[in-house]
Structure formats: C-alpha cells, structure tokens
Homo-oligomer: A and B are copies of this chain.
Amino acid sequence: MAGLRERQKAKRHRAIIQAASTLFKQNGYEAARIEAIAEVAEVSVGTFYNYFEHKADLLLAIVTMEVEEVLNQGEGVVAAPPGDAYEAICALVATYYDHSLVYLTKEMWRTAMAFSIQSPDTPFSRRYRELDHQLSEQVVALMTRLQQGGQLRAGVDTRAFGELTFLGLNGLFTTYTVTEGMALEELKAGMFRQVRALTAQIGTPDAA
C-alpha cells in the first residue's frame, strides 16, 4: 500500500524544489516568479502554496542542506582539531566559509537572512535560528575541546568566547554577502585576523 497520495506528494515536492533551484541559479531569486516555478514543476500556483508557505521557504530547504553538510564536516574538526588553537579555529571557520556558495548565491543568503530577521514568528525563521544555534554550539564545543587539550588557558570562559566568535564569523559573513565585490579570501582573511587577535590572548604560549 505504498500510498499513491504520499508518492505523488513527495514527487511534487521534489519537482518544485528542483524547478526553483534551476530558476534561482539561472536568473536569481528575485527574478524567479512563482508562476514560472510552478510551470516548470508542472503544478499550479495554488498547489505551490500547498507545499510551501512562502517563496522564501524554498530557500530554507536549500539552506538546511547547506548547513547540515557543514555541521557534519565541522564535527571532524572538533573531533580532531589540527595544530594549535589558532589553526584549529581557523580550520573550522574555513570549513564554514568554503562551503557557503555550493548551493546558495550571495543573493539567496541575503534573502534568507533578511527573511529570518523580518519574520521571526515563521517556521522558516525558527528553523534558521536553530541552525545558527547549532553552528554556534559547534564553535563552543571546539573551544572547550581546545581547553581540555591545553591549547586554551584554563580560566577562559569557552562558552562566552565561542559564542562571541560565532557572532563575529556570522557578522563578517553578512558583510560578505552584502558586498557583491568581496571575495571569499577577503572574508577569510578578515576572520583569521580576529582569531589571531583572540588566540594571542587566550591561547597558551606554546609551539607556534
């Protein structure tokens, strides 16, 4: 009894996301009209809204995929942090940043960020913030791990520093998406500088 209805639903869901992804890459998010997405997905406009609450919800599906992959990769860094504190934190940051444009363009990131700020009471926003929270927790986890490994001073409040570091990397990422001309390398360099300053103060004086 595989459920015809279920199968149809899953199929259409996939078709819509597929159509949207294609059109987003092709002409950008703004330029992709719901009507066009529905047409490519062979579905009516009304049906589209049966599957997604807002146009922006299409982004959520993509952002979720993106962040989950990055969290997975990040696990590796936390489990076995390379080098000293500076190296390790930069490695995690680079993991996040390097992956950021695989599924999403700057415009798509901007739209997702803007929506999650503008409409905090939507499932979209809640989920988006949940993902942010998980990333933040991963940075905290790394710092705690580094402290256990003796690469960060004993007295350091790793939660506070981890959260601050996340807010920093998040803020710089926003600047990056907002500045169309800014290259990924500039973003990384900017963040590495922050990490350098930080680890110079809270890292143990050790092998550089």
A113-138 with Cβ < 8 A to chain B: 113-118, 120-121, 125, 129
Structural contact, A160 and B196, CB atoms closer than 8 A = yes
- The chain A residues found within 8 Å of chain B, CB to CB, are 110-111, 113-118, 120-121, 125, 129, 153, 155-157, 160-161, 163-164, 167-168, 170-172, 174, 177-180, 193-194, 196-198, 200-202
With contact pairs A120-B180, A171-B171, A179-B120 given, residues A164 and B114 touching in the complex (Cβ less than 8 Å): no
With contact pairs A167-B167, A168-B168, A178-B129 given, residues A161 and B197 touching in the complex (Cβ less than 8 Å): yes
Question: Which residues in B have their C-beta under 8 angstroms from that of A198?
Answer: 160-161, 164
Structural contact, A200 and B155, CB atoms closer than 8 A = yes
Question: Which residues in B have their C-beta under 8 angstroms from that of A180?
Answer: 120-121
With contact pairs A114-B114, A114-B115, A129-B178 given, residues A164 and B120 touching in the complex (Cβ less than 8 Å): no
Of A110, A115, A116, A160, most B-chain CB atoms within 10 Å: A160
Of A197, A200, A202, most B-chain CB atoms within 10 Å: A197
The 9 closest A-B CB pairs, nearest first, are A160-B197, A167-B171, A114-B118, A157-B197, A114-B114, A120-B178, A114-B117, A167-B168, A164-B168
Q: What are some 28 contacts across the A-B interface (CB < 8 A)?
A: A110-B120, A113-B114, A114-B114, A114-B115, A114-B117, A114-B118, A117-B117, A117-B178, A120-B178, A121-B180, A129-B178, A155-B200, A156-B197, A157-B197, A157-B200, A160-B194, A160-B197, A161-B197, A163-B194, A164-B168, A164-B194, A167-B167, A167-B168, A167-B170, A167-B171, A168-B168, A201-B201, A201-B202
SS of A interface (majority): helix
Number of copies: 2
Question: Which residues in B have their C-beta under 8 angstroms from that of A113?
Answer: 114, 117
**How far apart are the CA atoms of A183 and B115 in the complex, in Å?**
22
Structural contact, B193 and A160, CB atoms closer than 8 A = yes
**How far apart are the CA atoms of A202 and B155 in the complex, in Å?**
12
**How far apart are the CA atoms of A155 and B117 in the complex, in Å?**
37
